[in-house]
Amino acid sequence: MPDYDARLVDLYDVDNPDGADHDYVRSLADEIGAQSILDVGCGTGILTATLVQAGRRVVGIDPSSTMLAYARGRAGGGEVTWVLGDSRNIPAGRFDLAVMSGNVAQHIPDPAWERTLSDIRTALRDDGVLTFESRNPLARAWTTWSNVEPTSRPTPHGLLREWLDVDEIQPGRVVLTAYNEFVQTGDLVIEHLTLEFREREQIEQQLVDAGFHVANVWGDWSRTASTNDSPLMIFEARRN
């Protein structure tokens, strides 16, 4: 997997701040009395580090060494076990809760996605909980994302000019090409990202096939039941 540019990782938390999605995970962890939490695709660890509590084991795993380097250096990062890799590298021990926040599910294509679900099931205790969100393909959010006119903003790495191409290459598979030009140095960083927009029924079936039962599918972070119009599908599944 090509890694992220470190200058763009420095901007990740500003662009994706703590919010209702993280509140939901923290509440769920407290409600089920989670003593051990696994954060798959933890990125910069912006959520992971806030899950730390006395007596609770927290593991963050991500295949990006640039993301993990940032996570290790963040406040509270020393209390988390960081693992470079994917679900094949989950450390031993049973977890009460596994999370994939920030639409990680959409970053993992099949069959790696099915393997990820199966590996997470193995890592959970009986009746352990897995939660993650995925954007509802019926809402077609990607149709509003294209931004071909460059915009500029100041960053710690100088002025950044950005523009974005969005292409639905197959039904439910969207390729983003993000152009990031650091004006002072003239560096142009081009990122290609493929996002999978899976339908609710497909994800539910994949969860069942991996050995989970689906407890809830929420349409927002306040736990309103998901409908066809909900922009998000937030899955809460339990290990069989």
Ligand X SMILES: C[S@@+](CC[C@H](N)C(=O)[O-])C[C@H]1O[C@@H](n2cnc3c(N)ncnc32)[C@H](O)[C@@H]1O
User: Where does this chain bind ligand X (CB under 6 A)?
Assistant: 16, 40-43, 46-47, 62-64, 67, 86, 101-104, 107-108, 112
Write down the least CB distance from residue 195 to ligand X, Å: 9
**Most distant pair of Cα atoms in the chain: their distance:** 54
Cβ nearer to ligand X, comparing 63 with 137: 63
Closest approach of Cβ 89 to ligand X, in Å?
Answer: 9
Measured from the CB of residue 47, what is the shortest distance to ligand X in angstroms?
5
Q: How far is the CB of 207 from ligand X (least distance, A)?
A: 17
Q: Regarding beta strands 95-100 and 147-153, do their DSSP bridges make them parallel or antiparallel, or are they unpaired?
A: unpaired
In this structure, are strands 95-100 and 124-135 parallel, antiparallel, or unpaired?
A: parallel
Name which of 100 and 217 has its Cβ closer to ligand X: 100
Query: Quick one: which of 75, 39, 79 has its CA closest to 56?
Result: 79
Tokens of 34: 């989670």
Q: Which residues contact 93 (CB under 8 A, 6 or more apart)?
A: 36, 57, 123
Nearer to ligand X by C-beta: 54 or 218? 218
Task: State how far the Cα of 203 lies from the Cα of 214, in Å rounded to an integer.
Answer: 10
Residue nearer to ligand X on the CB measure, 29 or 40: 40
Look up residue 215 and give its two tokens. 């407890």
CB of 186 vs ligand X, minimal distance in Å: 27
User: What sign for the dihedral angle of Cα 133, 71, 56, 41?
Assistant: positive
- Give the nearest distance from C-beta 184 to ligand X in angstroms: 26
CB of 16 or CB of 50, closer to ligand X: 16
* Helix runs in 185-237, H state only: 200-210
| 46 three-state secondary structure | coil
CB nearer ligand X, residue 58 or residue 149: 58
Residue 152, beta-bridge partner list: 161
